[in-house]
Structure 1
Amino acid sequence: MKKTFKIYAVIFIVVMLILALLEVNKKETTSWRKNFDINEKSPFGLFVFSNEAKDLFKNNLRKIEKAPYEYYNQREKDPHNIIVIAKELDKESWKKILDQVSGGSDAMIIMSRVPKNVSDSIGFHSSDISFAEQNVLKLTDKKYQNDFIQLDKFPSGRGFSYIKPKVEVLGKTVEKDNTDQANFIKINFGKGTIYVHSEPLFLTNYYLLKPGNIKYAQDVFSYLPDRETLWFVENDTKVSRFFMRFVLSNPALKYAWWVFLGGLILFIFFNAKRKQRIVPVLEPLRNTSVDFVKSIGNLYLQEGDFHDMMAKKAQYFLNKIRIDLLIDTQNLDEEFAKKLHLKTGKTMEMIHEAIELIRKGQDPYANVMKEDLTRMNNLLDEILK
């Protein structure tokens, strides 16, 4: 090896060590950008609400990743609920939503800035009503008077400065030094109803994870009737199709990627003129993993210890449920069965049978047969598909 190559190799190693030390000592920063993204776990993303929305709407919720204009052009819909949360829509999509409401649907619009041409046609004007750093969101209905949310991080301060006489005020922004301002209104439009809330922050991760705040969100959506609900969500297909999106979005992986590319370029540059040595022919090492697994399986079959195999299969299954589906497996009760049913789509009969077999495998005094092991293995594998 030439002396020059050794020098560059040492420089490369030193640079890598410096970058590693800088990354280890780097402080994590929190992004407070109001992205309202259903996949974002940052404070102002909608990850928590997206995961809990199905239970909130009793499994009648569907997330639509198309624009309303495109979606309604492809099909006719009976009266239903429509939800739009901090999503920018084109004029044709707004027109489609208003047409659906006129025909008997109900729309819940939760966004700080509704386009002026839309708000004018509905019957209100929105504007900045406050620049305070904190305020409280309350509902006007007496049965909800104990449910409220205190906004202590970057409230939008948006509300309704003008409301037509027939528009009903359902919620307001309360501040210490200002008069109360409307932030949640109801408008009868044709055969349907439009609800407009000017502060989408109450649905973000930061506020929903605070104790008691979920009740306010439940109260707001309780105005919608119990029927099919369509939630039009953001869909950035250009970004999602880029295979390096995850690597470049993570600072540590991004630095590692650039260091790898730099090292690869240096390696190619300094070894471009090297002559290829004769490569000796070596027999590849035999992979004995499969043989080992077969030997262990045969050993269990010879011993006939079906109970131990059921216990291990149950332990593996519950661990997969905790990690992949984020379901607590401490109590295998009806609540556990319901959550597993919602997240896997399997029938309740199949899940109840699987739970009984798991309990049997965990019971050290249970009488276990080979048929029990076979049935349990088939059931658990089917649920995890």
Structure 2
Amino acid sequence: MKQIINTYKRLFSILFLVLLSGCGKTNWNENFREKEKSPFGTYIVYNEADELFENEEVIYLKENFYDYLFNNYETSEADFGTYVCIKNDAYKLTSDGIDDLLSFVSNGNNAFLSLNQFSANLREKLEITTNDLDKKIDAIQDLKSLKGEFYLNNERFEQQPFTFDRNIRRHYFVTYNENKTIVLGSSKIDGEKVPNFMKIYHGKGAIYVHSNPVVFTNYYLLKDKEQYTENVFSYLPSSTLFWDPHIKKSDYSKQPDKDNTSVFKFFLQHETLTWFLFVSLAGVLLFMLFNARRKQRAIPVIHPLENTTVAFTQTISSLYLKEEDHKNLVDKKIAFFLEQVRSKYLLNTNNLNKDFIQHLAAKSDNKIQNTKYLINTIITLHKRSECSEEELLGLHKMIDNFFKNK
């Protein structure tokens, strides 16, 4: 283990120097992620668990712990091994998951939980209470000033006390069931040693709880603190280790009366359905967004052009009447009449003679006498230089009756 740690020290020292001298963006957040090579990730301890537990099989879980047991073992009564979880908290370990974990331990297995926060349900089931004097401290600079001094209750362990120079919260166990609990380690707070590492018997097995997971991160394994990690893990019995990099909600429940009818819960229990749900929701949101932005503007109402011919004619006629230019209106009425005759009856209007009158009366279905009277009136008024209003109105009435066949 020491040779491995020394190798990592050299590699990470070079990496840290590059980061610090380059962009100065070293991630000092406590993420406890197994893939993170940042100071407070758990890349080293996770990837070197095979060497740390060289005589045991280490299984790196890629699925939910209880799904793995359900799919690979016929019964939960067998002695499988030790479950390991090093995280900030176990908030994804639901009430059902805690019950399953305790059932696993009760059957003769073990569990190692190193957490900054133990949920109320977990504390109740383990019969413990905790206290964190630094629970309100979150800023990186404030955490940097938190130092700690740890002890292990075993005289065989050398280099005690183990001192840690940053991010050591004053998190410890206050009360516990003394009939089934052994204190394995402690932390010195305000001159008093208080438990921070305990073994709690449960059924045929035991749960090991540790209140300072930061000591297992890359930062301390590269600062000559690997001895403390080795000593802590030496308490674990020799057995197969199930290393859980991310606690998931349990898909498998041994209690059939549980209400598992929620549609969303069913989707979230399966990775492919979870992705389908997220992609669908994203698609709906994008549709709503683009539909709102591309919504068509209101089309303005275009009114049809009005026929102003009648109005124009009325205006012109009113003008002529006002000026009392009756002769001009008579000429226009005559020109209009002759144009209608040419277009409607296809007659030549150059000679308004007897033949013309007969043809016009026949085609227009008017009496020959009325037609003759109209044509003679037109010839007479056309030759005059002036006309009266009565003559204009008489001509208008005669033309109107002619086209109405009256």
**TM-score, normalised relative to structure 2:** 0.49
Alignment check: 8 A CA contact 2:58 2:243 kept: yes
- Which of 42, 63, 66 is 1:66 aligned to? 63
Match for 1:97: what amino acid?
L
Alignment check: 8 A CA contact 2:148 2:166 kept: no
Q: Which has the larger radius of gyration?
A: 2
In the other structure, the counterpart of 2:235 is 223
User: For residues 179 and 42 of structure 1, what CA distance do their matches in structure 2 show?
Assistant: 33
Q: Does 1:185 align with 2:182?
A: no
In the other structure, the counterpart of 1:112 is 116
TM-superposed CA distance for 1:130, in Å, is: 5.8
Identity rate, percent = 29
Match for 1:84: what amino acid?
C
TM-superposed CA distance for 1:73, in Å, is: 3.7
Distance 1:140 1:182, change over 3 A: same
Match for 1:85: what amino acid?
I
TM-superposed CA distance for 1:188, in Å, is: 0.8
What secondary structure sits across from 1:180 in the alignment?
Answer: strand
In the other structure, the counterpart of 1:82 is 83
Query: Which ranges in structure 1 are unaligned for 5 or more consecutive residues?
Result: 1-24, 242-385
In the other structure, the counterpart of 1:153 is 166
User: For residues 116 and 145 of structure 1, what CA distance do their matches in structure 2 show?
Assistant: 35
In the other structure, the counterpart of 2:47 is 51
Distance 1:60 1:69, change over 3 A: closer
Deviations 1:36-74 (A, max 9, x none): 001101110001111221111115111112233433343
Alignment check: 8 A CA contact 1:139 1:145 kept: no
Match for 2:30: what amino acid?
K
Alignment of 1:164-243 (within 5 A): 164-166=177-179, 167-175=181-189, 177-211=190-224, 213-234=225-246
Q: Does 1:162 align with 2:175?
A: yes
After superposition, the CA RMSD in angstroms is: 2.8
Alignment of 1:204-353 (within 5 A): 204-211=217-224, 213-234=225-246
Distance 1:43 1:99, change over 3 A: same
What secondary structure sits across from 2:40 in the alignment?
Answer: coil
Alignment of 1:354-373 (within 5 A): none
Distance 1:99 1:85, change over 3 A: same
User: For residues 119 and 71 of structure 2, what CA distance do their matches in structure 1 show?
Assistant: 25
What secondary structure sits across from 1:143 in the alignment?
Answer: coil
**TM-score, normalised relative to structure 1:** 0.51
What secondary structure sits across from 1:126 in the alignment?
Answer: strand
Deviations 1:81-104 (A, max 9, x none): 111111522222222111111000
TM-superposed CA distance for 1:178, in Å, is: 3.4
User: For residues 81 and 227 of structure 1, what CA distance do their matches in structure 2 show?
Assistant: 7
User: For residues 60 and 147 of structure 1, what CA distance do their matches in structure 2 show?
Assistant: 30
In the other structure, the counterpart of 1:133 is 146
User: For residues 73 and 90 of structure 1, what CA distance do their matches in structure 2 show?
Assistant: 18
TM-superposed CA distance for 1:233, in Å, is: 1.0
User: For residues 111 and 201 of structure 1, what CA distance do their matches in structure 2 show?
Assistant: 9
TM-superposed CA distance for 1:194, in Å, is: 0.9
In the other structure, the counterpart of 1:255 is none
Distance 1:26 1:144, change over 3 A: closer
User: For residues 107 and 187 of structure 1, what CA distance do their matches in structure 2 show?
Assistant: 10
Match for 2:98: what amino acid?
W
